[in-house]
Amino acid sequence: MKRLENRICVVTGAARGIGAAICEAFLAEGAQVIATDCNETALHDFAQKQGCSAMRLDVGCEDDWNAFATQYPEIDVLVNNAGITGFEQGMVAHDPEHASLADWHAVHRVNLDGTFLGCRYAIGAMRNRPSGSIINISSRSGMVGIPAAAAYAASKAAIRNHSKTVALYCAQQGYNIRCNSIHPAAILTPMWEPMLGSGPERAANMAALVADTPAKRFGSPAEVAALAVMLASDEAAYMTGTELTIDGGLLAGSAAVPGS
Ligand SMILES: NC(=O)c1ccc[n+]([C@@H]2O[C@H](COP(=O)([O-])OP(=O)(O)OC[C@H]3O[C@@H](n4cnc5c(N)ncnc54)[C@H](O)[C@@H]3O)[C@@H](O)[C@H]2O)c1
| Residue having the nearest C-alpha atom to atom 5 of ligand 1 | 185
185 lines ligand 1 (CB under 6 A): yes
Query: Are the C-beta atoms of residues 56 and 37 closer than 8 Å to each other?
Result: yes
Would the pLDDT of 72 be above 80? yes
Distance separating alpha carbons of residues 157 and 73, to the nearest angstrom: 29
Q: Which residues are catalytic, by number?
A: 152
Contact 155, 107 (CB under 8 A): yes
Do residues 219 and 246 lie in contact, with contact meaning Cβ atoms separated by under 8 Å? yes
pLDDT at 89: 85
Query: What is the pLDDT averaged over residues 30-37?
Result: 98
Give the three-state DSSP class for 32: strand
* Distance between CA atoms of residues 253 and 82, nearest Å: 28
* Residue in 10, 12, 16, 18 to alter for ligand 1 test, most ligand atoms within 8 A of Cβ: 18
Helices (H), the chain: 17-28, 40-50, 62-71, 101-108, 114-126, 150-173, 193-196, 202-209, 221-232
Ligand 1 atom, smallest distance to 42 CA: 39
For ligand 1, whether the C-beta of 247 sits within 6 Å is no
Any atom of ligand 1 within 6 Å of the Cβ of 142: no
Ligand 1 within 6 A of CB of 15 = yes
3-class DSSP assignment, residue 45: helix
CA of 85 to the centre of ligand 1 (A): 8
pLDDT grade, residue 173 (50/70/90)? very high
- Look at the pTM and tell me if it is higher than 0.85: yes
Determine the pLDDT at residue 228. 99
Angstrom distance (rounded) from CA 42 to CA 221: 17
Average pLDDT (193-197) is: 83
Ligand 1, atom 7: nearest CA belongs to which residue? 139
Task: Determine whether the shortest distance from the Cβ of 61 to ligand 1 is under 6 A.
Answer: no
pLDDT at 256: 76
For residue 215, report the distance from its CA to the centre of ligand 1, in Å: 23
How many C-alpha atoms does 133 have within 13 Å on its Cβ side?
A: 27
The identity of residue 252, as a single letter, is A
245 lines ligand 1 (CB under 6 A): no
Tell me the pLDDT band of 194, cut-offs 50, 70 and 90. confident
